[in-house]
Chain A
Amino acid sequence: MRHIISLLMENESGALSRVAGLFSARGYNIESLTVAPTEDPTLSRMTIVTRGSDDVIEQITKQLNKLVDVVKVQDLTDGGHIERELMLVKVRATGEYREEMKRMSDIFRGRIIDVTDKTYTIELTGTVSKLNAFLGALEPDAILEAVRTGASGIGRGERVMKV
């Protein structure tokens, strides 16, 4: 099953490699991993999307907790949560594509943030599946380049993860 795991860790050099190294050393999947400092610059917040049986996910959260730099771990999948991913897609915008791409971007509530004679760059935010759907809806020929951030997640309602 797909799980989205949030963690807070000390914003130290090498912290990311400890997490990445743990996943590769123990053979866990990483579907995506995002990381950036929080409002408190001494802390980094990481969102990891992974897949595994309940046993594997239990081990993953325990092993993450065991890392000395990790302050808090939460499996967001355990409760209501919101996740978003940002994608930038550069698409062909010549001939019939010029209108078509604008229309598709509107349908998916994207924004065109850069324009040339031949290309549009579309910014799109949403769940992982929405971004997948958008890419699926475009003709493969039309996609020149796509870059995705990986999912970021946060608990729904009053659920808060803080030190």
Chain B
Amino acid sequence: MADTETTGAEIVVRCLQAEGVEYVFGYPGGAVLNIYDEIYKQKRFKHVLVRHEQAAVHAADAYARSTGRVGVALVTSGPGATNAVTGIATAYMDSIPLVVLTGQVPTAAIGMDAFQEVDTVGISRPCVKHNFLVKDVRELATTIKKAFYIAATGRPGPVVVDIPKDVTQHTCAFEYPADIRMRSYNPTFKGHAGQIKRAVQMLLEAKRPMIYTGGGVILGDAAEQVIELTRLLGYPVTNTLMGLGGYPAPDPLFLGMLGMHGTFEANMAMQHCDVLLAVGARFDDRVIGNPKHFAKEARRIVHIDVDPSSISKRVKVDVPIVGDVAHVLDEIIRQLKAGSERPDQAALKAWWAQIELWRSQDCLKYDRSSEVIKPQYVIEKLYEVTGGEAYVTSDVGQHQMWAAQYYPFSKPRRWINSGGLGTMGVGLPYAMGVQLAFPDAMVACVTGEGSIQMNIQELSTCQQENLPIKIILLNNRYLGMVRQWQEFFYEERYAESYVDALPDFAKLAEAYGHVGMTIEKPQDVEPALRDAFGKYRDRLVFLNFVTDPRENVYPMIPAGKGLSEMILV
């Protein structure tokens, strides 16, 4: 039913309501004042005022990662939009569905170097799934509908809708389209039947099988299928950094994360398998290292992905299957169950014996008798205290890898981090997005003293919104990953990797109205965590753990090396 004469600003708000949006993360400014005026008048969704536009996009991104729904951010023109770009690029690299609404100067002023004007569509183009500049209020509703549709379907991604100020003032009849069809955009959903049949055959012929799943399994809600298939076949399984939680980590079939800081057993099994099933993963440089080294061992590869351009990009595959991962896996499981053929048990037994030998290397061991706090120990205790049930967000660096290695995720969408772009500063805004989506859940932000300072102003937003996030700062007084590379590859020349003049983080947290703690001894780690999640469960607690500055992340595959060329502790 079409209404008469609705302003563009009201159309924006009514579109968001029609999409069932729960939260809009944003920051007002001149070009979006009309939209904010309409937000003020409504109660259907909540606006969360951040302290920097980058954080708005990160929070919307984490809301999307943890719920599976489209995240929404709203920023003004010019600097509002440029501040949002890092958030947009972060979401783009990890295929996160977002709609980012940006204000723009009035259409007549576009190109005039107007105040707070920037070519948002041009600047964001390389890091969005798609973007729009809406020049006519009559196209506004359809464009927003398209934005949500494009963001959420196929390989998800961020979509920017740039709205000039005059368009928010102009009026037209409002009607939100019930659905949308685009001749230029039709993502493949169903996998090719013949290819699926070949995949089933290949899986059954395997002597040394391996299942490798990535972020696509999380995004495509296919963890259930991965579990069923893996257990049906009894094959070993590994997850990428983005895929953690896609298979329950405590399960014996799980070999841990693979890649640059993956486990010895996962990387060795990946390198030496004869049939590899890759699901929603993209063989990126941090995962398989050098593709030439990877190709040294002959193996046949089945690759399932919703994005055809992810297939045969870095590694040639034998059976490409383009489609929705859950749907394709369902079909593979159905055919396996319907057939009478079963995997070669003798070969599988021998393969598992080899894997157990690799596993006995115990590649994640570390010094447990240390007098200083080991970062790994903090993560292990975090796991214990939260019973493995927390949502864990992280920033980027050593602490990110330790969180990935020492917090065994059992469920998808619990591990929220920037894998592709590797954006320092995401951790706290990510925790905000998750905590708002799940107010009663335990949310821990594992961070470093470098990363946390990149968006520390959001402690203020957390205070305003009463978000009881637990910040787990592994404070080693170094940009740890940089320091590690300098130790290994630059003869210990620690150029600018020491973070001098750090604030007293506990006092800083208190200044923002939160609870701050500084923990310096291993025996104080667990009690502090218990207080944070117990006594202070309703408060934001900033736990500043003073950790061993010399600790490194092991195993490590140096950049450009192959999967079997790991540096072990």
- A associates with B: yes
With contacts A25-B126, A58-B312 taken as known, whether A14 is within 8 angstroms of B133 at the C-beta atoms is yes
User: Which of A17, A55, A69, A71 contacts B122, CB < 8 Å?
Assistant: A17
* Interface status of A21 (Cβ within 8 A of chain B): yes
Residue-wise, chain A 48-81 has the 8 Å CB interface mask toward B (1 for contact) of 0000000100110011011011110000000000
Q: Who on chain B is nearest to A60 by CB? A: B309
Give the distance in Å from the alpha carbon of A10 to the alpha carbon of B157 in the complex. Answer: 20
Task: Report whether A14 and B308 are in contact in the complex, using a CB–CB cutoff of 8 Å.
Answer: no
| 0 or 1 for each of B184-207: is its CB under 8 Å from A? (1 = yes) | 110000000000000000000000
Query: Which residues of chain A are within 8 angstroms of B121 by Cβ–Cβ distance?
Result: 14
- Is A9 an interface residue, CB under 8 A from the partner? yes
In the complex the two chains form, is A69's CB within 8 Å of B313's CB? Answer: no
Given contacts A14-B133, A17-B122, A59-B313, contact A71 B184 (CB under 8 A): yes
B150 at interface by CB-CB < 8 Å: yes
Q: Which residues of B contact A65 (CB under 8 A)?
A: 308-309
Decide yes or no whether B272 CB sits under 8 A from chain A: no
Interface string of B297-319 (1 = CB under 8 A from A): 00000000001110011000000
**A37 vs B340: C-alpha distance when bound (angstroms):** 56
B133 & A68 in contact (Cβ 8 Å cutoff): no
Q: Check B313–A21 contact: CB distance below 8 A.
A: no
How distant is the Cα of A68 from the Cα of B183 in the complex, in angstroms? 10
B133 neighbours in A (Cβ, 8 Å): 13-14
> Does A163 interact with chain B (Cβ within 8 Å)?
yes
Q: A21-B126, A25-B126, A68-B129 are in contact. Are A55 and B312 (CB under 8 A)?
A: yes
* Inter-subunit contact B125/A69 (CB<8 Å): no
CA distance A63 to B313 in the complex (A): 11
> Which residues on B sit within 8 Å (CB–CB) of A71?
183-184
The residue in chain B whose Cβ has the minimal distance to the Cβ of A25 is: B126
- Give the chain B neighbours of A103 by CB distance below 8 A: none
Contacts of B183 in A (CB 8 A): 71, 163
Task: Report whether B309 and A66 are in contact in the complex, using a CB–CB cutoff of 8 Å.
Answer: yes
Encode B220-242 as 1/0 by CB contact (under 8 A) with A: 00000000000000000000000
Q: How far is A70 from B182 in the complex, measured between Cα atoms in Å? A: 11
The prevalent SS among residues of A at the interface is helix
Q: How many A-B residue pairs have CB under 8 A?
A: 36
CB distance from B515 to the nearest CB of A (A): 45
- CA A55 to CA B313, docked complex, whole Å: 8
**In which size bucket is the chain B interface?**
10 to 19
Contact A68 B307 (CB under 8 A): no
Contacts of B307 in A (CB 8 A): 66
- Shortest CB–CB separation between residue A73 and chain B, in angstroms? 11
Chain B hits for A17, CB < 8 A: 122, 125
Q: Is B44 an interface residue (CB 8 A)?
A: no
Most chain A CB inside 10 Å of its own CB: which residue of B129, B150, B184, B308: B184
Most buried by A among B129, B130, B150, B308: B308
Q: How far is the CA of A29 from the CA of B194 in the complex (A)?
A: 35
The docked-state distance in angstroms from the alpha carbon of A63 to that of B133 is 22
A118 CB to closest chain B CB (Å) equals: 40
Residue in A closest to B121 when the chains form the complex, CB atoms: A14
The answer to whether B309 touches A69, judged by C-beta atoms less than 8 angstroms apart, is no
Q: How far is the CA of A9 from the CA of B183 in the complex (A)?
A: 10
CB of B126 within 8 A of CB of A68, answer no
Say whether A69 contacts B184, CB under 8 Å.
yes
Chain B residues with Cβ below 8 Å from A109 are none
A residues within 8 A CB of B313?
59
A31 and B190 alpha carbons, distance in the complex (Å): 36
Residue of A nearest to B307 (CB): A66
Question: With A17-B125, A18-B125, A68-B130 given, is the CB distance from A10 to B309 under 8 Å?
Answer: no
Point out the residues of chain B lying under 8 angstroms from A62, CB to CB: 308-309
* Residue ID in chain A nearest B310 by CB atoms: A62
Chain B residue nearest in CB terms to A70:
B184
Give bound CA distance, A18 to B121, whole Å. 10
| Chain B positions within 8 Å of A13 at CB level | 133
Chain A residues in contact with chain B, CB under 8 A?
A: 9-10, 13-14, 17-18, 21, 25, 55, 58-59, 62-63, 65-66, 68-71, 163
Given contact pairs A10-B184, A14-B125, A71-B184, enumerate 20 new A-B contacts (beta carbons under 8 Å).
A9-B184, A13-B133, A17-B122, A18-B125, A21-B125, A21-B126, A25-B126, A62-B308, A63-B309, A65-B309, A66-B308, A66-B309, A68-B129, A68-B150, A68-B182, A68-B184, A69-B184, A70-B184, A71-B183, A163-B183
* Contact sample, A vs B, 30 pairs, CB 8 Å cutoff: A9-B184, A10-B184, A14-B121, A14-B125, A14-B133, A17-B122, A17-B125, A18-B125, A21-B125, A21-B126, A55-B312, A58-B312, A59-B309, A62-B308, A62-B309, A63-B309, A65-B308, A65-B309, A66-B307, A66-B308, A66-B309, A68-B129, A68-B150, A68-B182, A68-B184, A68-B185, A69-B130, A69-B184, A71-B183, A71-B184
8 closest Cβ pairs, A-B complex: A62-B309, A68-B130, A71-B184, A25-B126, A68-B185, A62-B308, A63-B309, A66-B309
